[in-house]
Amino acid sequence: MYRLYDYLPSGNGYKARLVLKRLRLEYELIEVDIIRGESRTPEFLAKNSNGRIPVLEVPGKGFLPESHAIVSFLAEGTDLIPDDPFDRARMWQWMCFEQYHVEPNIGTVRFWAHVLRKTRAELGEKLIEKKKSGYAALDVLEDTLRDRDYLVGNRYSLADICLYAYTHVAHEGGFDLQPYPGVRAWCDRVTSQPAWAPITER
């Protein structure tokens, strides 16, 4: 059985949990409280020297960190990864976009505000820059989702799971999704997928 070392509020960990649930894969969740420094202990660093969650323990193989490496391993050979090479490249395009533009901005602001409970005054100018970049990422998503149901080939894939993870909780970082009807409708479609579960469900 897989073991997933994770922190439940994490969008990165949520990606892995959504894939595990969607594919009906059995796993044991080991909670790691990153706020209390549990990902920086010698025991955890032996699993991932980068000291970050999620980490997937694969029986007979070892420990696999990084959310996109985890989900691509789990979904290999399933309908969550397109068969067509161009569509598969598009999937990776969106997953790269998520890591460069969504997670560092929307995910980071949400972490500051929702988990660390930082105030606007405490965050100052860096909050303004992150919010600006986060809204720019939402603009790109809205433009893409204006005339399609899903991000790649008009079918549900890892691209949707990875982008959804932080986008659907953007409001927890103070992002207003009201001006983004395409994004909101897409979030609803992802929510209606089989075996969907909320972000803090084990």
**161-191, pLDDT tens digit by residue?**
999 999 999 999 999 999 999 999 999 999 9
Q: Please give the pLDDT value at position 191.
A: 98
- What is the SS3 string spanning 20-71? HHHCCCCEEEEECCHHHCHHHCHHHHCCCCCCCCCEEEECCCEEEECHHHHH
Stronger pLDDT, 136 or 121, i.e. the higher one: 136
* Mean pLDDT rounded to a whole number for the chain: 97
Taking the whole predicted model, whether its pTM rises above 0.75 is answered as: yes
Q: Please give the pLDDT value at position 41.
A: 97
Q: Please give the pLDDT value at position 91.
A: 98
Q: Beta strand 27-31 with 62-65: parallel, antiparallel or unpaired? A: unpaired
Q: Please give the pLDDT value at position 103.
A: 97
Q: Please give the pLDDT value at position 110.
A: 97
Residues in the chain: 202
Give the pLDDT confidence of 72-126 residue by residue, as tens digits.
999 999 999 999 999 999 999 999 999 999 999 999 999 999 999 998 899 999 9
Contact (CB, 8 A) for 2 and 58: yes
Q: Please give the pLDDT value at position 32.
A: 97
Q: Please give the pLDDT value at position 181.
A: 98
Confidence band, pLDDT 50/70/90 cuts, at residue 49: very high
Q: Which residue has the tokens 């799971």?
A: 161
Q: Please give the pLDDT value at position 21.
A: 98
Give the pLDDT confidence of 138-148 residue by residue, as tens digits.
999 999 999 99
d(CA 1, CA 74) in angstroms, rounded, equals 13
Q: Please give the pLDDT value at position 176.
A: 97
